[in-house]
Amino acid sequence: MKLNRFKIYGFFGSITLIYFTLLSKLFFHNSRLIRFPIVIRGKAYIDLGEMLTTGVGCRLEAFPSIFNLKTLRFGDNVQINDYVHITAMSSVIIGNNVLMASKIYISDCSHGYYDGKSNDSIPDTHPIDREYKTAPVRIEDNVWIGESVSILPGVTVGENSIIGANSVVTKNIPANCIAVGNPARVIKKYNFETKIWEKRTDLI
């Protein structure tokens, strides 16, 4: 069933949508719809893929440690909603057909090392002066990320998985799973034989 966009957005909302569509075609040729304002830092190192849709207030940043690399890469048909913040220094890859809600934070870097090893950062140094720790992030195809999720450095979210609202993802999430919590834990996995999302405790 086709949605009547005028009924959804109203008169002024529809005019705004048309305005954003025109701006998108002017400045972001391959995107479906970019809603403004949007902040893009290091645009030369970002690949927005094909048919990207964004909400308002998004912030996309690429600060590569090795120049001439696309450190933030989107697949095709990605949709991110309002106030999504993604930062890439090493590598952040977003797969095809990924859907993100609003107020999501994804980063492959952090200020300092806190692993209990000899290179740990000293706490009385200014946080902004501490050496960056980077580890690649990968969001695979068909992933759905809920409201206010944080995905931290070194994480892979497997294809077809769902991350519940307000989760903090600190470790890899396998494919075809639902993960929730802080830190995020797998609570269900889809069984393709029974066609049911089954509760799992062995993956927690």
Q: Which tens digit of pLDDT belongs to each residue from 83-137?
A: 999 999 999 999 999 999 999 999 999 999 999 999 999 999 999 999 999 999 9
126 among known catalytic residues: yes
pLDDT tens across 142-199, in order? 999 999 999 999 999 999 999 999 999 999 999 999 999 999 999 999 999 999 999 9
31-199 sits in which CATH class? Answer: mainly beta
Of the listed 29, 85, 111, 126, which one is catalytic? 126
Domain regions of the chain by residue span: 1-30, 31-199
List the 196-199 sheet strands across, edge first: 79-80, 99-100, 144-145, 162-163, 177-180, 185-191, 196-199
Matching residue, tokens 């692993």: 115
pLDDT tens across 7-62, in order? 667 778 888 988 999 999 999 999 999 999 999 999 999 999 999 999 999 999 99
- Counting beta carbons within 10 angstroms of the beta carbon of residue 7, is it exposed (0 to 12), middle (13 to 18) or buried (19 or more)? exposed
Q: How far apart are CA 39 and CA 81, in angstroms?
A: 14
